[in-house]
């Protein structure tokens, strides 16, 4: 894991598409871009499982499929359990000589934030604790988009959703998002990273590191939903870039306990710039809600400073 991993543009444009075009995901959806970047980065054969959600329902409309690789769908909560069962079977077949010892397969589970932060958290945690060699990818669109834009524990504070509607009683979701990436890193697994599709080199390099890890790995990747975030479909990459420039969504990795911040903006932008591009936060810019924008900025600043301190501390210990 110590060697430097690079991403070549040939990795991005190679012709074998593991997720075929023609799926039913919405225009501007971040999920297919994230999936394609990850699958282009991984050179070995792959076996995938997906939790119930936008990716699953939009790529498997009977009798069609968009998957050109072995793919399994199980229940909402247990994509991680399903893929680790496949990984365990693969190792057993190697031990009995039914599969060559040098055969390599990368096992990957994809789930949305609802299936990751909420419904599947127990199952993911168990799979990590057991030490299976697989990658768990959270396609984070910050709400239950597939079922009608209900809040999840990944939904930002102040966001207007169908279950936290902004109005005179509450100005959107009252709670802060759950620190999923930090929770995953607390399992002391070999590799955890946070990424964004606008920076394809960073995301694909992290996918390669996750595949090479000697044990479980987790990627938490921002995947905007134009329908739920209420932005135009051509703004997806601009919004993900601004999320990193405001430090709302830092790009970082935790490799064997060592934190590395992969991108530190020279000119850190105010989080209001990011909020303003999305209709789900439109109500925050009424004069009565100015305090909430200030509170969100303070929390983002605090979390960014904490991350930088963690990087300094862990890098110093391993100098």
Residue 267: inside a domain: yes
The reported pTM is 0.96
Residue 284: inside a domain: yes
Starting from the edge strand earliest in sequence, which strands make up the sheet with 217-222, in order? Answer: 71-73, 46-50, 106-112, 135-140, 217-222, 191-195, 252-255, 258-261
Residue 7: inside a domain: no
Residue 157: inside a domain: yes
Contact 196, 244 (CB under 8 A): yes
pLDDT (0 to 100) of residue 1: 42
Greatest CA separation found in the chain? Answer: 69
Instruction: Look over the chain and give the mean of its residue pLDDT values, rounded to a whole number.
Output: 95
Residue 254: inside a domain: yes
Instruction: Compute, in degrees rounded to 10, the torsion defined by CA atoms 19, 25, 31, 34.
Output: 30
Under the banding of pLDDT at 50, 70 and 90, the label for residue 30 is very high
Total structural domains within the chain: 1
pLDDT (0 to 100) of residue 2: 45
CATH number at residue 111: 3.40.50.970
Residue 4: inside a domain: no
Residue 13: inside a domain: no
Residue 281: inside a domain: yes
Contact 115, 139 (CB under 8 A): no
Rounded CA-CA distance 219/190 in Å is: 12
pLDDT (0 to 100) of residue 3: 54
Contact 187, 215 (CB under 8 A): no
pLDDT (0 to 100) of residue 318: 64
Residue percentage of the chain with pLDDT more than 90: 92
Contact 57, 50 (CB under 8 A): no
Q: Residues 82-94: what's their mean pLDDT? A: 98
**Is residue 135 over pLDDT 70?**
yes
Residue-number span of the structural domain to which 59 is assigned: 18-317
Q: Residues 130-134: what's their mean pLDDT? A: 98
Q: Could you tell me which residues come within 8 angstroms of residue 85 by beta carbon, excluding any fewer than 6 positions away?
A: none
Rounded CA-CA distance 65/56 in Å is: 10
Rounded CA-CA distance 252/274 in Å is: 19
| Tens-digit pLDDT profile for residues 234-260 | 999 999 999 999 999 999 999 999 999
**Is residue 6 over pLDDT 90?**
no
């Amino acid at each position: 894991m110590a060697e430097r991993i690079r991403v070549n543009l040939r990795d991005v444009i190679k012709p074998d598409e593991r997720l075929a075009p023609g799926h039913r995901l919405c225009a501007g959806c971040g999920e297919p871009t994230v999936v394609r970047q990850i699958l282009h980065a991984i050179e070995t054969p792959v076996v995938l499982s997906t939790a119930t959600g936008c990716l699953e329902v939009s790529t498997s409309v009977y009798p069609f499929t968009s998957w050109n690789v072995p793919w399994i769908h199980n229940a909402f909560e247990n994509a991680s359990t399903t893929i680790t069962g496949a990984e365990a079977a693969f190792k057993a077949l190697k031990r009995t000589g039914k599969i060559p010892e040098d055969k390599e397969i990368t096992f990957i589970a994809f789930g949305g934030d609802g299936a990751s932060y909420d419904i599947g958290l127990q199952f993911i945690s168990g799979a990590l604790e057991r030490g299976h060699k697989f990658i768990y990818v959270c396609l984070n669109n910050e709400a239950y988009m597939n079922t009608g834009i209900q809040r999840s524990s990944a939904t930002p504070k102040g966001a207007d959703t169908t279950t936290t509607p902004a109005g005179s009683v509450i100005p959107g979701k009252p709670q802060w998002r759950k620190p999923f990436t930090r929770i995953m890193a607390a399992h002391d697994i070999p590799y955890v990273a946070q990424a964004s599709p606008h920076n394809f080199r960073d995301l694909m390099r992290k996918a390669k590191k996750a595949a090479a890890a000697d044990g479980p790995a987790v990627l938490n990747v921002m995947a905007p939903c134009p329908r739920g975030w209420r932005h135009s479909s051509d703004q997806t990459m601009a919004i993900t870039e601004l999320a990193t420039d405001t430090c709302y969504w830092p790009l970082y990795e935790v490799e064997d306990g060592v934190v590395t911040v992969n991108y530190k903006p020279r000119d850190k932008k105010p989080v209001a710039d990011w909020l303003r591009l999305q209709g789900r936060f439109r109500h925050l810019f009424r004069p009565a809600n100015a305090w909430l924008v200030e509170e969100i900025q303070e929390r983002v600043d605090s979390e960014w400073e904490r991350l930088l301190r963690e990087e300094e501390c862990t890098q110093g210990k391993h100098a």
